[in-house]
Amino acid sequence: MKPNIFPTAEATARGLIEHILRLVSFHQRPTFTIALSGGSTPALMFDLWASDYADQTPWERLRFYWVDERCVPPTDAESNYGMTHRHLLSRVPLAEEQVRRIWGENTPEEEAERYAALVRSELHAVEGMPIFDLVLLGAGDDGHTSSIFPDREDLLTTDSLYAVAEHPVTRQQRIALTGAPIIHAQNVIFLMTGAAKAPIYNDFLQGHTNGPAAYIAHHALYEVEVFADEAVIG
């Protein structure tokens, strides 16, 4: 695990965008596939990407997927796609086929299957495993990542590419990328800012694998990068 620590949340977001642009520039294939997480943390990064880095970004090379989505319509305030559309996608030049939304409004079981089939059909695979060029993850205060919550660690090792999950408190259903495709991604990056993430970050540092986020951090095929601000390291 490689920590990249910055003084503020904004500096962290800028550092991450610049790192992603470097990954894209060195990428051999024409298309660079990115699976995005939702929640609140990425919004600042998306805003800065759309405003200060849009001219430096080869948008035509990018194709966006989602790590997870809440089972709500895209217009719902809870929608990860909706948040990303507001802060990024609506502000940059992307063709429709470059944005692969998870249909939160679909029947969850059907959507997990549909979206997994879509990802399998579009990504290059290694030994049958679709490989994202980049999976951008957050980490919940309870140690979850994607929508793999502590009470569903079976999703870390399931054969399914995407699964139906449920938030343990709100019972909100989610479509979640599972452990294996995350672990096999070419690049896995955690974006964590704010003091609330400090316990999770310390778990990472101490090599604990309790909790899905820490498990991913220590089982990914390639070295996981963590982009965090100083509030996270205390």
28-57 residues near ligand 6PG, rule: CB under 6 A: 37-41
Cβ atoms within 10 Å, residue 51:
12
Is 147 one of the binding residues for ligand 6PG (CB under 6 A)? yes
Is 68 one of the binding residues for ligand 6PG (CB under 6 A)? yes
Is 138 one of the binding residues for ligand 6PG (CB under 6 A)? yes
Is 178 one of the binding residues for ligand 6PG (CB under 6 A)? no
CB of 80 to ligand 6PG, least distance (A): 5
> Can you list the alpha helix ranges (DSSP code H) found in 123-211?
179-183, 198-205
Distances (CA, A) of 19 to 49, 117, 123, 128, 143: 12, 30, 22, 28, 25
CB of 110 to ligand 6PG, least distance (A): 19
Nearer to ligand 6PG, 123 or 176 (CB): 176
Q: Structure tokens of 26? A: 């060195």
Is 79 one of the binding residues for ligand 6PG (CB under 6 A)? no
CB of 139 to ligand 6PG, least distance (A): 6
Nearest to 190 by CA among 231, 234, 225, 144: 225
Lookup result for tokens 């079981």: 109
Nearer to ligand 6PG, 130 or 140 (CB): 140
Which residue has the CB atom at the shortest distance from ligand 6PG?
A: 138
Nearer to ligand 6PG, 123 or 165 (CB): 165
Nearer to ligand 6PG, 57 or 172 (CB): 172
Nearest to 85 by CA among 60, 64, 112: 64
Contacts of 161 (CB under 8 A, 6+ apart): 116, 119, 120, 130, 177, 178, 180, 181
